[in-house]
Structure 1
């Protein structure tokens, strides 16, 4: 049997790029059947600031590749929006 506290101490790592995504802070559970829908992570912050808001990431349970002793491997693809004004074009 696994407890939420067992998951909270493990690092969550993206298998696509090997980067640490954060740590699990919560689980989203389907109340009708008790299945885990997704895990909720907090993204690691760069620097400590009392007023900074931690960013949360929801990763569907189906995207978990492997749960190990120290780490949870996930397949996570970030949604990147490109701002047309911020892109630069090169002319040759």
Structure 2
């Protein structure tokens, strides 16, 4: 799977059955080339960062439960995964 394909899938938290959005970025380990986390815009985020502070969910790879054709199921505590940027 390519990152482009990953970014077109909707992320759903199985703990709350809430849609979080689509990934906008990934984090990876430079030493081994493995993806370590996906980044999804958080609550109150907009496409235009200059309109105010934004937040994002940084979801560790080990919290991903399943990747389907259209969705990515994750199991996270949204309060602990949301970071202000």
Using the TM superposition, give the Cα deviation of residue 78 of structure 1 relative to its aligned residue in structure 2, in angstroms: 2.3
Structure 2 unmatched runs, 5+: 81-85
Partners of 1:44 and 1:5 lie apart in 2 by 23
Find the structure with the greater CA-based Rg: 1
Runs of 4 or more off by more than 4 Å in structure 1? Answer: 44-50
Question: 11-20 vs 48-57, which deviates more?
Answer: 48-57
How many pairs are equivalent? 79
**What is the TM-score normalised by the length of structure 1?**
0.73
Cα RMSD, aligned residues only:
2.3
Higher helix share: 2
For the pair 1:75 / 2:75, whether they are aligned, the reply is yes
Higher strand share: 2
Aligned twin of 1:65: 65
Structure 1 unmatched runs, 5+: 81-92
Using the TM superposition, give the Cα deviation of residue 24 of structure 1 relative to its aligned residue in structure 2, in angstroms: 0.4
CA contact (8 A) 2:45 2:55 kept: no
Partners of 1:13 and 1:53 lie apart in 2 by 23
Partners of 1:26 and 1:46 lie apart in 2 by 14
